[in-house]
A and B are shown apart, each in its own frame.
Chain A
Amino acid sequence: MAADATRRLTRRMRTILALLMATLSAALIAILLIRQASAPNISKAFPAGEIVVGVDASYPPFALDDGTSVRGLDIDIATAIAAELGVPIRFENIGFYALYDALISGRVDLLISALRIDRARMDDVRYTQPYFDNGLLIVTPAHAAETDIDSLTNARLAFEYASSADAQVRLWQEDGRAIKRLPYELPEYALDALRLGLADAAIVDAATLRLYQREQRDWNIEFEYITSDPYAIAARIDRRDAWKLVDRALSALKERGEIAIIIDAWL
């Protein structure tokens, strides 16, 4: 009797297990099919067979119209993405005020134009992951004892007069931080002051620091972001395939170090 009961139980368990396996397999197949159906499709993403990119070519070194063509960091990144996707690319030089309208109206497929991620536009636009952060940096000499603003007491801070760095320093002063202001006419002078030991730290944006370092390759410094200003590529909200493919291509290019090479070439 007990053996019969055990056999019945085992049989039932086997049946349940088989049913479970079948259900799981069906679910897996369904998921795979759905994923395949919803996988971004290049011809659906760019039905015209090319990628049309809107850019305001008035932002060197990100994009500049030299009279014959548009050139710059943004142009190279977009070109690398198109090559990764195997689709030809064409640029349209559009003023900033008309850029988003051009995207929303379908005149262009993507925007790459040193675009800062704008939450207010996210009902209409989807941004990729950032490819560059041009936030403000606090720059200190290498091996400085103190490298962040919280520990820089009575520090001499160099910055460009009337710039966003100046506004930031004023905010710190209003917060009661003991800071000695060193305003200079140009951000490069603020970095000169730091390099020459006339300042304890300098506040500049990331692009300015990178451009300065091209001329001062032996200068060892440390830096820390104090604000974030990420640049990303924009696609229209309903162009999910285009956005996904571009974002994936950007990831692949980043992983292979190609985005870093492009940034190094221009900044």
Chain B
Amino acid sequence: MGLPRRRRRVAVLLLALSALGIAQIHPRPVDDQVPLGEQQNVETAKPLVCVHTLLENEVDEAKIKRSLELTRELGAATIVQFFPWAYAEAEQGRYEWFIADRIARHAKRQGIRIIARLGLVPAWARPSDPAAPPTTLNFLPEESFADFARYAAAFAERYADAIDAVIIWNEPNLSFEWGFRPVDPAAYARLLRISYPRIKAANPAVQVLAGALAPTREQAGSGAGLNEFDYLSAMYQAGAGEFFDALAIHTYGYHDSPSAEPNPDRLNFRRAELLREIMLHHGDEHKPAFITEFGWNDHPRWTGAVRPSQRSAYTVQAFEYAEQHWDWAENLCLWAFRFPADTLSYPDNFTLVSADFTLKPIYYALQDYARGWARSEDTWLPTPRAG
């Protein structure tokens, strides 16, 4: 009985094609589950050392694992990692944790803690008026603040055993990061007010970080943004102070050494101290700060760069400076560990590891510092002279 062999073959073929068609309509990432390996611990002499990873766009799970292995071997016990809302809730009310899950499980296995940066708005949470100009992924309308808070709380609960802190948004004092709109510290304060209690209810242990303000000299009325000092002051005035546990700070060195004096008119590493003064002014001396982005660039031609020898030295000196002078800083997170693909321009010269996993010389210098190893070689030779 049953179908003749030829018909059976046709039926099997049709079934296979149908399955293939369904798979095309609802493509799901293949969770190939790269083996986690043995449980590891980060051996470090400098718990302050942290790096900003960019694993959310990594297609190959093996590369996530390799990045985190190298992070552990570097001696960094903490990472800042971006977890885009748009990736987790592309369809309203239906969370897809695939991307975050694999980052969290590999980080845990390597013994690395996570400071989670949250942002990027799914299409359904942005205005959909076809007559209006399209919005960017950084456009978070006020009507969607509660949806974002719900995502942040769900994230904080799900990854309670992997994360220490969540950062609410990124650089909201830049127009580009605020959906190409005029920046709005009061609106950002309202976002914190809505998000904070929900996150704490879901995960009381997690620290809620505000700010992640970009270092910039923009003044009020600029289309590009607002300097971080005026923005933070306006946040406090709008009542944000009750709704964060610590401040996230971005502070890049540009041409200055890490010890260069802070100055509101100059972008340098110790500019972070001016933000700390504003926190103290508003009675937040009990709150710590996290430097969630900092670093120097060593592109040979970019005007914002220093020489590679300087970058290497400045980076280590910055950690030493913070260790000695910034008792309020919980972590210093270097931008950036590695990009999934090289940009082929100066941003690549912020990284410690190239996209093909070539370790840059600065990786070894930082590893020596973080692991407490004696420097393995002299840095460079004296200037050559004739005769």
Task: For B300, give its contact among A182, A196, A208 (CB under 8 Å).
Answer: A208
Task: For A162, give its contact among B298, B303, B343, B384 (CB under 8 Å).
Answer: B298
* B383, CB-defined interface residue at 8 Å: yes
Q: In the complex the two chains form, is B383's CB within 8 Å of A189's CB?
A: yes
* A120, CB-defined interface residue at 8 Å: yes
B312-355 vs A: 1/0 string, CB under 8 Å? 10000000000000000000000000000101111100000010
Q: In the complex the two chains form, is B380's CB within 8 Å of A59's CB?
A: no
| 29 A-B residue pairings within 8 Å (CB atoms) | A58-B303, A62-B301, A96-B345, A114-B301, A120-B341, A160-B307, A160-B309, A161-B312, A161-B361, A162-B298, A162-B308, A162-B360, A162-B361, A163-B300, A163-B308, A163-B361, A167-B358, A170-B359, A171-B358, A183-B381, A184-B380, A184-B381, A184-B384, A185-B307, A186-B309, A192-B383, A193-B384, A196-B386, A207-B301
Chain A residues, CB < 8 A from B361: 161-163, 166-167, 170
Chain B residues, CB < 8 A from A166: 308, 361
If A96-B347, A160-B309, A163-B308 touch, whether A59 touches B384 (CB-CB below 8 Å) is no
B372-385 vs A: 1/0 string, CB under 8 Å? 00000001110111
Q: In the complex the two chains form, is A183's CB within 8 Å of B304's CB?
A: no
If A166-B361, A182-B381, A189-B383 touch, whether A161 touches B309 (CB-CB below 8 Å) is yes
CA distance A163 to B360 in the complex (A): 8
Chain A residues, CB < 8 A from B365: 162
- Residue of B with least CB distance to A204: B300
* A88, CB-defined interface residue at 8 Å: no
If A96-B346, A116-B344, A166-B361 touch, whether A192 touches B384 (CB-CB below 8 Å) is yes
If A58-B302, A162-B311, A207-B301 touch, whether A183 touches B344 (CB-CB below 8 Å) is no
If A96-B345, A97-B347, A185-B309 touch, whether A161 touches B380 (CB-CB below 8 Å) is yes
Q: Quick one: which of A171-217 are within 8 Å of B by CB?
A: 171, 182-187, 189, 192-193, 196, 198, 205, 207-208
Main secondary structure of the interface of B (DSSP, over half): loop
* A64, CB-defined interface residue at 8 Å: yes
Task: For B303, give its contact among A60, A187, A208 (CB under 8 Å).
Answer: A60
* B90, CB-defined interface residue at 8 Å: no
* A118, CB-defined interface residue at 8 Å: yes
Chain B residues, CB < 8 A from A198: 384
A32-52 vs B: 1/0 string, CB under 8 Å? 000000000000000000000
Q: In the complex the two chains form, is A167's CB within 8 Å of B360's CB?
A: yes
CA distance A59 to B299 in the complex (A): 10
* B362, CB-defined interface residue at 8 Å: yes
Task: For B301, give its contact among A59, A117, A163, A184 (CB under 8 Å).
Answer: A59
Q: In the complex the two chains form, is A116's CB within 8 Å of B300's CB?
A: no
CA distance A198 to B384 in the complex (A): 8
B176, B301, B341, B365 interface centre (most CB from chain A within 10 Å) = B301
B280-313 vs A: 1/0 string, CB under 8 Å? 0000000000000000001011111001110110
If A96-B346, A162-B360, A184-B380 touch, whether A59 touches B308 (CB-CB below 8 Å) is no
Closest 8 CB pairs of A and B: A162-B308, A116-B344, A162-B361, A161-B380, A193-B384, A58-B303, A163-B308, A192-B384
Q: In the complex the two chains form, is A161's CB within 8 Å of B308's CB?
A: yes
Chain A residues, CB < 8 A from B360: 162, 167
CA distance A56 to B345 in the complex (A): 11
A54 CB → nearest B CB, Å? 13
Chain B residues, CB < 8 A from A117: 344
If A116-B345, A166-B361 touch, whether A64 touches B308 (CB-CB below 8 Å) is no
Chain A residues, CB < 8 A from B362: 162
Q: In the complex the two chains form, is A183's CB within 8 Å of B379's CB?
A: yes
CA distance A193 to B383 in the complex (A): 8
B298, B300, B362 interface centre (most CB from chain A within 10 Å) = B300
Chain B residues, CB < 8 A from A208: 300
- Residue of A with least CB distance to B134: A105
CA distance A58 to B345 in the complex (A): 12
B345, B347, B362 interface centre (most CB from chain A within 10 Å) = B345
Q: In the complex the two chains form, is B309's CB within 8 Å of A118's CB?
A: no
A116-B345, A166-B308, A182-B381 given; name 19 further pairs at CB < 8 Å. Answer: A56-B345, A59-B301, A59-B303, A60-B303, A96-B343, A96-B345, A97-B347, A160-B307, A161-B308, A161-B309, A161-B312, A162-B311, A163-B300, A167-B360, A185-B309, A187-B300, A189-B384, A192-B383, A208-B300
- Residue of B with least CB distance to A229: B344
B71 CB → nearest A CB, Å? 19
Task: For B312, give its contact among A98, A162, A182 (CB under 8 Å).
Answer: A162
A181 CB → nearest B CB, Å? 8
Chain A residues, CB < 8 A from B300: 163, 187, 205, 207-208
CA distance A186 to B309 in the complex (A): 8
Q: In the complex the two chains form, is A196's CB within 8 Å of B303's CB?
A: no
Chain B residues, CB < 8 A from A116: 344-345
- Residue of B with least CB distance to A166: B361
Chain A residues, CB < 8 A from B386: 196
- Residue of A with least CB distance to B301: A59
Chain A residues, CB < 8 A from B346: 59, 96
CA distance A75 to B272 in the complex (A): 37
CA distance A170 to B308 in the complex (A): 15
- Residue of B with least CB distance to A181: B377
CA distance A97 to B176 in the complex (A): 11
B312 CB → nearest A CB, Å? 5
- Residue of A with least CB distance to B345: A96
Chain B residues, CB < 8 A from A58: 302-304
CA distance A96 to B154 in the complex (A): 35
Q: In the complex the two chains form, is A160's CB within 8 Å of B308's CB?
A: yes
Q: In the complex the two chains form, is A196's CB within 8 Å of B381's CB?
A: no
CA distance A185 to B312 in the complex (A): 11
A115 CB → nearest B CB, Å? 8
